[in-house]
Every structure is written in C-alpha cells, then in structure tokens.
Amino acid sequence: MKYQEINGRLVPEGPTPDSSEGNLSYLSSLSHLNNLSHLTTSSSFRTSPENETELIKEHDLFFKAVSLCHTVQISNVQTDCTGDGPWQSNLAPSQLEYYASSPDEKALVEAAARIGIVFIGNSEETMEVKTLGKLERYKLLHILEFDSDRRRMSVIVQAPSGEKLLFAKGAESSILPKCIGGEIEKTRIHVDEFALKGLRTLCIAYRKFTSKEYEEIDKRIFEARTALQQREEKLAAVFQFIEKDLILLGATAVEDRLQDKVRETIEALRMAGIKVWVLTGDKHETAVSVSLSCGHFHRTMNILELINQKSDSECAEQLRQLARRITEDHVIQHGLVVDGTSLSLALREHEKLFMEVCRNCSAVLCCRMAPLQKAKVIRLIKISPEKPITLAVGDGANDVSMIQEAHVGIGIMGKEGRQAARNSDYAIARFKFLSKLLFVHGHFYYIRIATLVQYFFYKNVCFITPQFLYQFYCLFSQQTLYDSVYLTLYNICFTSLPILIYSLLEQHVDPHVLQNKPTLYRDISKNRLLSIKTFLYWTILGFSHAFIFFFGSYLLIGKDTSLLGNGQMFGNWTFGTLAFTVMVITVTVKMALETHFWTWINHLVTWGSIIFYFVFSLFYGGILWPFLGSQNMYFVFIQLLSSGSAWFAIILMVVTCLFLDIIKKVFDRHLHPTSTEKAQLTETNAGIKCLDSMCCFPEGEAACASVGRMLERVIGRCSPTHISRCEISLSSLCCR
Ligand SMILES: Nc1ncnc2c1ncn2[C@@H]1O[C@H](COP(=O)(O)OP(=O)(O)OP(=O)(O)O)[C@@H](O)[C@H]1O
Ligand SMILES: [Mg+2]
C-alpha cells in the first residue's frame, strides 16, 4: 500500500513489513499522538484527548473494514504449520499466505495485517481478525459480490458486540455518491491526487443497521437470491437498496506496477503497424498516468479528451470540436481519452463521427469501461469499413467478454486469476511475450498456413489438369491417364509429407531477426499472402506446370516416336506414368524451393518422397501381385526407366517447370524485395542463436557473460572479416 487516507487525513507513506504480530508499534503509537502529527494533513486536527480516542476509533474501523471487506482466501498449507488449522488465534501473520482474484484486495489485507489488524481466516459463517494480538470473531452475514458494473463490493457482518455493520469498498465514483457522512470532499481531492500519480484507488465506507433494518434487508436478499426469474436484476436492485446512506471511512491507493518491457512491447506493436487501444476499468487520471508511463501516450502527443459528457448534444458538440482540432492542430500525433459514459453517448447516435476521430488518433484510451462496453468497442472496430483484424489482451475476469469478442483473444495468466486465460485463444504469462507470439510465432504460422493452403491448390491443379487434357485425346472415353493406385496415393503418400513438415517447421527468417525487427510484420499485414494476386499466381503456376507435364510428354514421346533401342514404342500407361513421374518430382522440388529452413527431417521427407515413389513403382509394376485382378502397370515403370530418352524428358520437363518460377523469384527479389526478403539476407550466426535464447533466462545470464568474455578473447584471434560478424553477435549479447 502506498498511501492511505483515513477520513480526510492523508498518510503519506504506507507501513513497512514488520514483526510477526504485525506492526504493533504503529497502532500502539496511535495512543501517543505526538508520534502521529506527521501523518496528518488536516489543519483542524488538534491532539486533544477526545481527538485521540476519535482518531483511534477511525483508524480501527478503517482497518477493520479493509480486513473484512474482501473475498481473500488463506492458503491451507501455510496455516497448517501452527496448530490445528486456520482458526488458530496464535497464528503468526507472517505465516499466512493470502490468495485473491484481485491483487488490490490482497495488497490491502496484507497491509492491514502489517499494521496489526490481521485477517486470519474465514469460513462460511465467520471471519476472524486479530487486532493487536486479540482475536475477534465477526459473523459473516452476507457478501454483496463485486461486479464491474457496480464497481464496488460489500460485506455485512455482525461484530462481537452484536452490532450489524456493512463495510463497502469500491471505485470513488460508486462509493462517494452513496455517502452521507465523513470527509467526502477532502477524500475526493486526495483520491484524485493519488490517481494522478498512477495509483489504483478505492474508497471505503460503512453503515450500521438497526435490527429492524437488518431483518428487512435479510429478507430482501433471501428473496432475490432464491428468485427463479430475473435473479440478476433483482439482486442488483437489492444491492442498490442496501448500499446507501454510507459513512465514508477513507480511501486507499495501491500501486499497480507495470510488468517489465511493457513500453518496449507497445512500441514494437506500433512499429509493426498495429493500432493499440487501451480499454480499462480504471479511473481517468490513473489510466492517463499509466498510459504515459507505459508509452501508450507520449509527452509530445496532443491529448484530446471526451469525458464527463452528460447529454447526446453535448457529446456531439465535443466530438465535432475534437474533429476540428485534429485538422487544425499541426501536431503529428493525437491521443484520445474517452470514458465509459461518454463512450455510450457517443456510440448511441454519433458512431461515425466518433470513429472518424478515433481513426485520426494514433492512440486511444478508454477508461471506466464496464466489461460489456469493452466488448462493444471491439465489435465497433470489427465492423468498421476497414474490417480490421482485432486482437484483445487482458488479464482479469472483466476482460473475458472483450477477449471472446475479438478475432484473436489472448489471456495473461496473472495476479487476477485464470479466467481470462481460460477464455482465450492463446494464453501467455507476461505481456512482453506478446511480441514473440505475434512477430515470431504469428509470422511463422501465417507463412506456413498461407503456403500450405496455396500449395495444396497448386499441386492438385497440377494433378488433375493433365487428366482433363487427356480426355481430348481419348475421345472422352473416361480412360484415366494415371493408374488407379497412383490416383489414390498421389495426395496420401507421394506429395504429402514435404508440405506437412514445411508447415510445422518452416522458419523463413531467423526468429531473432523477426523479434528485433517488428516492421517485418507489415509484410504480412492485410492478409497479403492470401490475396487474390498470390492465389492467382499459384493457380496459374499449377496450370502452366500441368500443361508442361502433359504436352511435354506428348511432344517428347508422342505416338510416332520410338524411344527404346529395340524399336518398341511406349503405350498409353507409359505416357501417363511419365507425366505422373515428372509431376511428383516437380511438385516436390517446388516445395524444396519454398523451404528456407532445412533440417534433417526436411531432407528426409523431400528426397525420401521422390525415392519412395521410385521404389514403390518398381515393386508395384515389377512383380505380378496375386491379389490384384488386373495389373495395367506391369513392367511399365521399369520399361520407362530403361529408356535414356525418357530420363532426358523427365529432367527437361522438371527443369523447364521450375526455371520459370526461379526466374520470377530472382527478378522479384532484385527489383522490389520486401523487407522480409532483405532480412533473409542478413547473416545469422548459428552459434550465437543458441546463446541468445540462453540469455532469455535469468540463470542463463551468468553463463552468457562468461561466454561473452570468451568470445571477446576469441575475436582477438579472428580474421578481420570474422571480427565484424562477431561484434554484431557480441553486441546482441550485451543488449541483454
Ligand atoms: N475487489 C474489488 N472490490 C471493490 N472494488 C473494486 C474491486 N476491484 C476493482 N474495484 C473497483 O472497480 C473498478 C473497476 O474494476 P474493473 O475490474 O472493471 O477494472 P480495473 O481492474 O480497474 O481495470 P482493468 O480493466 O485494467 O482490469 C476499479 O477501478 C476499482 O475502483
Ligand atoms: Mg481488473
């Protein structure tokens, strides 16, 4: 806890971890007010005996509220070690391990424990708190659960004295309007100050119930919870009825530290041509401050605001003004801040105008968003005229709806539980891994899938077109060009493995280059590799290859040509087999030409497929198989291979087919290479690659340093050409 604010008095520095009994000196010091003067800002505060008791009461109630109003759980393992369970009153707080779905709650309960008000366990019916070593049992009557629309939660407890109390905590916008007592205005100012520092704030309040009041609300809660229809609405109405007439106790501010490399990751996303929007439930000031610190907003940016709009017309006017400012202000970049209520007004009737403003802003920040609003924003972007692909990243339960709405949903397994991760398409452990996920794995899989799909079309066009052309020469007699076994095995055995292995292993550029140069991602943006142009290219390539297979075979071993030494001529099946053989080789070598990353598996399946075809054909046609009724291919393949001219025909046709493709590739690469193609030329040192990945782990860093030193020594013995290469590798080591 960074700050606490108790009834208008600001405590600038939070308590520090202390003894096993909590920071007893802190609370006991409350009774010696000379120690307390530095904690207060209220000038009206005097250290008189009445104030002293009042202050102790306020502090006590505030911390009681903090340690009772939550849904934190205690780890059983930790509590087992002293006595017989979590109810042990002599349990040392340092042995307690708190678990919560909200990191704020955990921080607050831990902070209260350090002060000396230790939450030591709960069951369905009681909550136990130890105040300065004295055990107090609170009967837990009801929990009014937190939800992101209400932005608050409450508990109703029965104090040991028998009093029935409601403790509520939540966003200042949802608690302060419900308060009728306490230092509301002072607290509001303090909360704003905290938020400007980028801290996450919560307000804490309480209410006392008379027994009659409690009976009434108990009845209402029971009715709502057991309702068979519209339970949610009924519960919301009851919560609304209960959480009112509160007395403000104070506010808390918790620092929500950014994970490491958030700034770098956001910068990389931007360089990759990805537009970043931040959607958060946080307060406006907190959200802006966090956006500035994470690099979403820059100091040089012109920040436009659409906040606190009350009506449609006011909102429309503000939007028009913003649109005007964007055209008039000669600033390169604009950032837009919009809050939940203004956003719903903007989307009601002025959707187009709003989108127009957003389109001209390089960064958009939406704060105080309810979960469904986050999903709505994603839908709005999805259906905008540009039809962009949306990706949502979130870590909390309030991000689930937006994760599900986006084309790609990514959940971060973090302090806020696993709900987001469980509902996502991909789950990552840290935000920084997003760049590797997109720029390395995303890029690889896009290339792999794009090639896989188009190659399949290509190889089947190659396969079926000669059969079609053949019909013109066999009087449409339904005679097949290839034997039925070849027809069956073409896609299953002869040409399946190279593309399968390609689509699993291909790395067209070194992964480190991809990660360090996010701009390469632009080469595959807008589905560039699956565009009509590339699809047509592959299809035309397939047709041209098929024409070469068919007419090449026809010309080279046509009916009047004798190709065997003894004057024998080839028949129908030999003609078909020749075309088929050329096809299997061409299609496989074409895959080899597409492959940039050669492993032994690629070699095995590529050359293995061709060898398998030959070996299979030799056995298939070379033996009279007893279980085959008729064997059209008997000795056909062997006869084909025994002709030198057939070998010449095969080589000539394969080379002709691939030559066209190679020429196109060479011209393309030299005349207008893409950045990815340029990067492919960047030399990468295989030895350094494994070092690089080693450095990603903390344990690897020490090893890296020593290897780095060793390399430096080795450089001294290198030739000048090698030195420059080593230096690049070394500098990449030193960056870490
Ligand atoms: N456990 C809680 N108890 C009471 N109030 C809470 C709790 N968690 C959050 N709040 C309040 O409700 C607000 C909205 O919370 P929500 O979880 O929707 O978004 P967030 O956690 O602030 O931001 P993000 O969208 O970045 O996760 C918070 O800003 C906070 O003021
Ligand atoms: Mg949250």
User: Do 353 and 307 fall within a single domain?
Assistant: yes
Q: Which ligand is nearest to the CA of 107?
A: 1
- Residue-number span of the structural domain to which 496 is assigned: 438-671
Query: Does the CB atom of residue 171 touch ligand 1 within 6 A?
Result: yes
Q: Which pLDDT score is estimated for 22?
A: 45
Nearest to 685 by CA among 711, 706, 661, 713: 711
Query: Does the CB atom of residue 106 touch ligand 1 within 6 A?
Result: no
Q: What is the per-residue burial (b if ≥16 Cβ within 10 Å, else e) of 234-261?
A: bbeebbeebbeebebbbbbbbeeeeeeb
Tens-place pLDDT, residues 53-101: 777 788 888 999 999 999 888 875 444 443 333 333 344 445 678 888 8
Least confident of 273-277, 342-346, 348-352: 348-352
Query: Does the CB atom of residue 182 touch ligand 1 within 6 A?
Result: no
Instruction: Confirm or deny that 382 is annotated as ligand binding.
Output: no
Instruction: Confirm or deny that 239 is annotated as ligand binding.
Output: no
User: Are 167 and 155 a contacting pair, CB within 8 Å?
Assistant: yes
Q: Return phi, psi of residue 94, to 5°.
A: -65, -15
Cα of 252 from ligand 1 centre, angstroms: 13
Q: Is residue 251 part of a domain?
A: yes
Task: Give the rounded percent of residues in the chain with a pLDDT score beyond 70.
Answer: 82
Query: Does the CB atom of residue 169 touch ligand 1 within 6 A?
Result: yes
Task: Give the rounded percent of residues in the chain with a pLDDT score beyond 90.
Answer: 54
User: Do 277 and 395 fall within a single domain?
Assistant: yes
Q: Is residue 21 part of a domain?
A: no
User: Are 319 and 345 a contacting pair, CB within 8 Å?
Assistant: no
What are the contacts of 676-685 at 24+ separation with CB within 8 A? 676/508, 676/509, 676/520, 676/523, 676/524, 679/509, 679/510, 679/513, 679/514, 679/517, 679/520, 680/508, 680/509, 680/596, 682/510, 682/513, 683/725, 684/510, 684/512, 684/513, 685/725, 685/726, 685/728, 685/729
Q: Is residue 419 part of a domain?
A: yes
User: Do 307 and 408 fall within a single domain?
Assistant: yes
What separation, in Å, do the N-terminal and C-terminal C-alpha atoms of the chain show?
32
Instruction: Confirm or deny that 533 is annotated as ligand binding.
Output: no
Cα of 281 from ligand 2 centre, angstroms: 7
Nearest to 105 by CA among 202, 8, 215: 202
| Mean pLDDT (whole number) for 30-38 | 37
Query: Does the CB atom of residue 152 touch ligand 1 within 6 A?
Result: yes
User: Do 203 and 302 fall within a single domain?
Assistant: no
Q: How confident is the model at residue 560 (pLDDT cuts 50, 70, 90)?
A: low
Q: Which residues surround ligand 2, an ion (CB under 5 A)?
A: 396
DSSP state of 438: I
- The residue whose C-alpha atom lies closest to atom 5 belonging to ligand 1 is 170
Q: Is residue 730 part of a domain?
A: no
Q: Which of 178, 282, 402 to mutate to test the pocket of ligand 1 (most atoms within 8 A of CB)?
A: 282
Q: Which ligand is nearest to the CA of 287?
A: 1
User: Do 100 and 231 fall within a single domain?
Assistant: yes
Tell me the pairing of strands 179-181 and 246-255.
Answer: parallel
CATH number at residue 302: 3.40.50.1000
Instruction: Confirm or deny that 436 is annotated as ligand binding.
Output: no
Domain boundary (215, 235, 255) is at 255
Domain boundary (614, 637, 671) is at 671
In whole angstroms, give the CA distance from residue 317 to residue 458: 56
Nearest to 142 by CA among 124, 120, 130: 124
In whole angstroms, give the CA distance from residue 248 to residue 179: 6
Q: Return phi, psi of residue 156, to 5°.
A: -115, 120
Tens-place pLDDT, residues 119-157: 988 777 889 998 888 889 999 999 999 988 899 999 999
**Total domains, the chain:** 3
Q: Which pLDDT score is estimated for 696?
A: 45
| Mean pLDDT (whole number) for 341-348 | 90
In whole angstroms, give the CA distance from residue 287 to residue 198: 7
What SS3 class is residue 18? Answer: coil
Domain boundary (398, 431, 464) is at 431
Nearest to 61 by CA among 143, 181, 174: 181
Could you tell me which residues come within 8 angstroms of residue 53 by beta carbon, excluding any fewer than 6 positions away?
none
Could you tell me which residues come within 8 angstroms of residue 641 by beta carbon, excluding any fewer than 6 positions away?
647
**Is the pLDDT score of 33 beyond 80?**
no
Q: Is residue 486 part of a domain?
A: yes
- The residue whose C-alpha atom lies closest to atom 8 belonging to ligand 1 is 102
User: Do 173 and 310 fall within a single domain?
Assistant: no
Kindly state the greatest CA–CA separation across the chain: 125
Cα of 716 from ligand 2 centre, angstroms: 54
In whole angstroms, give the CA distance from residue 366 to residue 388: 19
User: Are 157 and 165 a contacting pair, CB within 8 Å?
Assistant: yes
User: Do 380 and 499 fall within a single domain?
Assistant: no
Query: Does the CB atom of residue 243 touch ligand 1 within 6 A?
Result: no
Bridge partners of residue 134, in order along the sequence: 131
- The residue whose C-alpha atom lies closest to atom 16 belonging to ligand 1 is 281
Q: Which of 67, 99, 148, 175 to mutate to test the pocket of ligand 1 (most atoms within 8 A of CB)?
A: 148
Q: Which residue has the higher pLDDT, 628 or 379?
A: 379
Work out the mean pLDDT of the chain and round it to a whole number: 83
Q: What is the DSSP string of 655-712?
A: HHHHHHHHHHHHHHHHHS--HHHHHHHS---HHHHHHHHHHTSHHHHHHHHHHHHHHH
Q: Which of 398, 401, 419, 431 to mutate to test the pocket of ligand 1 (most atoms within 8 A of CB)?
A: 398
Q: Is residue 473 part of a domain?
A: yes
Q: Which pLDDT score is estimated for 734?
A: 41
Q: Within a 10 A sphere around the Cβ of 560, how many other Cβ atoms?
A: 6
Q: Which pLDDT score is estimated for 95?
A: 65
Q: Which pLDDT score is estimated for 57?
A: 81
User: Do 195 and 288 fall within a single domain?
Assistant: no
Instruction: Confirm or deny that 280 is annotated as ligand binding.
Output: yes
Reported ipTM: the value is: 0.96
Inter-axis angle of helices 49-68 and 103-115, to 10 degrees? Answer: 140
Cα of 590 from ligand 2 centre, angstroms: 51
User: Do 202 and 244 fall within a single domain?
Assistant: yes
Instruction: Confirm or deny that 368 is annotated as ligand binding.
Output: yes
Q: Return phi, psi of residue 412, to 5°.
A: -100, 125
**Is the pLDDT score of 439 beyond 80?**
yes
- pTM, rounded to two decimals: 0.80
Instruction: Confirm or deny that 692 is annotated as ligand binding.
Output: no
User: Are 646 and 557 a contacting pair, CB within 8 Å?
Assistant: yes
User: Do 251 and 224 fall within a single domain?
Assistant: yes
User: Do 412 and 463 fall within a single domain?
Assistant: no
**Is the pLDDT score of 403 beyond 90?**
yes
User: Are 524 and 447 a contacting pair, CB within 8 Å?
Assistant: yes
User: Do 388 and 499 fall within a single domain?
Assistant: no
Nearest atom in ligand 1 to 171's CA: 31
Instruction: Confirm or deny that 218 is annotated as ligand binding.
Output: no
Q: Is residue 296 part of a domain?
A: yes
Give 197: exposed, middle or buried? Use CB within 10 Å, 0-12, 13-18, 19+. Answer: middle
Residues 299, 300, 303: CA angle, nearest 5 degrees:
80
Chain position carrying tokens 């279980």: 627
Q: Which pLDDT score is estimated for 635?
A: 84
CATH number at residue 124: 3.40.1110.10
Q: How confident is the model at residue 631 (pLDDT cuts 50, 70, 90)?
A: confident
Task: Specify the amino acid at residue 354.
Answer: F
